[in-house]
A and B are shown apart, each in its own frame.
Chain A
Amino acid sequence: MNAPVKPKLRIATTSLAGCFGCHMSFLDIDERLLTLLDLIEFDRSPLTDIKHCGSCDIGIIEGGICNAENVHVLREFRKNCKTLIAIGACAVTGGLPAQRNHLDLGSCLTEVYLTEPGLAHGHIPNDPELPLPLDKVHPLHEVVKIDYFIPGCPPSGDAIWKFLTDLIAGKTPELGHGLIKYD
Chain B
Amino acid sequence: MAADSEMQTTGLDSILDRYARDPNALLQVLREVQELHGYISSAAIGHIGAKLGIPHARIEGVASFYSFLHLRPHGEYRVLFSDNITDRMLGSQALMEQMCQQLWLQPGKVSEDGLVSINTTSCTGMCDQGPAMLVNGRAITKLTHQRVQEIGHLIRNRTPLADWPADFFRVEDNIRRSGPLLDNSIAPGDVLRAVIESGKDVVEAVKQSGLRGRGGAGFPTGQKWEACRNAPGAARHVVCNADEGEPGTFKDRVLLTRQADLVFEGMTLCALAVGARHGYLYLRGEYRYLLEPLQGVLQRRRDSNLLGKNILGQTDFDFDIAIHLGAGAYICGEESALIESLEGKRGVPRSRPPFPVTHGYLQQPTAVDNVETFCSATLAIQMGAEKFRAIGTERSSGSKLISVSGDCPRPGIYEYPFGVSVRQVLQDCGAVNTRAVQISGPSGMCIAESEFGRKLGFEDLPTAGAFMVFDDSRDLFEVARNFVHFFAHESCGFCTPCRVGTSMLKQTMDKIAAGHGTRHDLNEIEHLDQVLQTSSHCGLGRSACNPVLHTLKRFRPAYENRLKSLDFEPAFDLDGALARARQMTGRDDAGAHLKTEET
Say yes or no: is B594 at the interface (Cβ < 8 Å to chain A): yes
What is the distance, in angstroms, from A181's C-beta to the closest C-beta of chain B?
16
Shortest C-beta distance, B350 to chain A (Å), equals: 27
Q: B565: shortest Cβ distance to chain A, in Å? A: 14
A126 in contact with B585 (CB, 8 Å): yes
- In the assembled complex, how far is the CB of residue A61 from the closest CB belonging to chain B, in whole angstroms? 15
Task: For B571, list chain A residues within 8 Å (CB).
Answer: 142
Instruction: Please tell me if the beta carbons of B570 and A132 are within 8 angstroms of each other in the complex.
Output: no
Give which listed residue, A126, A128, A131, A135, contacts B577 with CB less than 8 A: A135
One of B520, B567, B582, B597 near A132 (C-beta < 8 A) = B582
Question: Contact at B581–A135, with CB atoms within 8 Å?
Answer: yes
Flag whether A109 is at the interface (Cβ < 8 A): yes
Which residue from chain B places its CB closest to the CB of A69 in the assembled complex? B591
The yes or no answer to B574 lying at the interface (CB within 8 A) is yes
The residue that B581 contacts in the complex, of A75, A129, A134, A138, with Cβ under 8 A, is: A134
Q: A71-B574, A75-B597, A128-B591 in contact; A105/B581 too (CB < 8 A)?
A: yes
Q: Does any Cβ of B come within 8 Å of A133's Cβ?
A: yes
Instruction: Return chain A residues, CB-CB under 8 Å to B586.
Output: 126
B164 at the interface (CB under 8 A from A): no
What's the nearest-Cβ distance from chain B to residue A119, in Å? 15
Chain A residues with Cβ below 8 Å from B582 are: 132
Contact, CB under 8 Å: B580 / A142: no
How many A-B contacts at CB < 8 Å in the complex?
Answer: 59
- Return chain B residues, CB-CB under 8 Å to A125: 585
Report chain A residues within 8 Å CB of B592.
Answer: 68, 128, 132
Residue B153 lies at the interface, judged by CB distance under 8 Å to chain A: no
> How far is B568's CA from A110's CA once the two chains are assembled, in angstroms?
35
B570 surroundings in chain A (CB, below 8 A): 138, 142-143
Give per-residue flags for B558-587: 1 if the beta carbon is below 8 A from chain A beta carbons, else 0.
Answer: 000000000110111010011111111111
Q: Is the CB of B574 within 8 A of A132?
A: no
Q: Say yes or no: A68 contacts B594, CB within 8 Å.
A: yes
Contact between chains at B580 and A104 (CB < 8 Å): yes
CB <8 Å contact, A132 and B583: no
A132 touches B568 (CB 8 A): no
Q: Is B292 an interface residue (CB 8 A)?
A: no
**CB proximity of B142 to chain A, nearest CB, Å:** 42
Is A106 in contact with B580, judged by CB distance below 8 angstroms? yes
**Option from A75, A105, A143 in Cβ contact (under 8 Å) with B584:** A105
Which listed residue, B567, B572, B574, B577, touches A145 by the CB 8 Å rule? Answer: B567
CA distance in complex: A71, B577 (Å): 11
Which chain A residues lie closer than 8 Å to B584 at the CB level?
Answer: 105-106, 109-110, 124
| A68-B578, A145-B567 given; A131·B591 CB < 8 A | yes
Which residue of the partner chain B has the closest CB to A123? B585
| A144 contacts chain B at the CB level, 8 A cutoff | yes
Tell me which residues across on chain B come within 8 A of A75, comparing CB atoms: 597
A136 at the interface (CB under 8 A from B): yes
Which 5 A-B residue pairings sit nearest by Cβ, starting from the closest? A126-B585, A145-B568, A132-B581, A134-B577, A105-B580
24 residue pairs A–B, Cβ–Cβ below 8 Å: A68-B591, A68-B594, A71-B574, A71-B594, A104-B580, A105-B580, A105-B584, A109-B584, A110-B584, A124-B584, A126-B585, A126-B586, A128-B591, A131-B591, A132-B585, A132-B592, A134-B574, A135-B578, A135-B581, A138-B570, A142-B571, A143-B570, A145-B520, A145-B567
List 9 extra interface pairs beyond A132-B582, A136-B577, CB under 8 A: A71-B574, A106-B583, A125-B585, A128-B587, A131-B591, A132-B592, A134-B574, A135-B581, A145-B520
Binding site for B on A (CB under 8 A): 68, 71, 75, 104-106, 109-110, 124-126, 128-129, 131-136, 138, 142-145
